[in-house]
Structure 1
Amino acid sequence: MTHLEEGHAGLSAGTEGLATSAALSAVLYSWQQRLKTVRDECGNLEAPLRLVAKDQGEFEKYVAGKFVQSVPIEARDKGGR
């Protein structure tokens, strides 16, 4: 957002009333709204995505434990083969 605003800084100076100036202002506003929407969506997804990552990690540990349990004890001493 900062780079976008900096890139548009001063563009309208001396060009008030020109169609190009109005179009650039409309484009700037449009992109600002889009980026705010993306920022908000990312903020809303942070907690659910962290929960999924935690759950996935726990599930992987559970599955790995089941594999170890299914290997006979004598095979575990030989590297699981």
Structure 2
Amino acid sequence: MPVPKSEFDSLPDCDFYTPEELLEDDQMYTVYEIARLMQDLEPDAEIDQGTERVLLDWTIPWVIMNADDLVIAEPRTDDEPARYGLKE
């Protein structure tokens, strides 16, 4: 159910990091690590699975929208996720 804007103390702009602001040039990241970085957490921060699922709902579209600025590395093993990094 929608709620009036007046119910909120603050309404900052909806602003997302650019890949250059978020990722280090020489590193490759999983979507899970990117999700944490987008929330100003360390890439290896412990978070519960429910929170991680919500963060992935934001992260996967971010990766898709920024695909032109990213490279992808296929998993090195069957039990490892793909990794993303900045395009040079």
TM-score surpassing 0.5? no
- Look at both structures and tell me which one has the larger radius of gyration over its CA atoms: 1
Higher strand share: 2
Highest RCO, 1 vs 2 (Cα 8 Å, sep ≥ 6)? 2
Q: TM-score, normalised by structure 2?
A: 0.29
Q: TM-score, normalised by structure 1?
A: 0.31
